[in-house]
Amino acid sequence: MVEARLRVIYGDTDQMGVVYYANYFRYFEFARSEFFRGHGGSYRELESTGLLLPVVEASARYKASARYDDLLVIRTTLSELRRASLVFTYELLRDGPSPTLLCTGRTMHACVGRDGKPQRMPEAIARLKALDV
């Protein structure tokens, strides 16, 4: 599991200062990038090999609202690894003395080549799953 932190900016909120629901998926994307960095790599490096990990399914369960200027912690886990797909799960919390769970989420990704055809998951990602258990 890798933890990423970010502060909610005003542009991510509605007129009431509450984070617009679709922005949680942007936060999940940020956390995925930090997951790869936290394991010594980057998504850019994966792309340079000709492989891509497009999102093919995404879900979020909202528990409480994130608000302008909140410091968020996003915990990311590589929870499933298949031959040509993987699943990340997320817990998004408001940081503080008593962290508050705001949202949980899940994204499934296909492993495809630049031609869009399924490819076998690279060994480097299989090793990440072993580390993330």
- pLDDT of 94 strictly over 60: yes
Of 12, 14, 115, 132, which residue is the catalytic one? 14
Residue type, 25: F
pLDDT tens by residue, 5-42? 999 999 999 999 999 999 999 999 999 999 999 988 88
- Comparison of pLDDT for 75 and 127, the residue scoring more: 75
82-97: burial string, b at 16+ Cβ within 10 Å, e else: eeebbebbbbbbbeee
For the question of residue 95 being annotated catalytic, the response is no
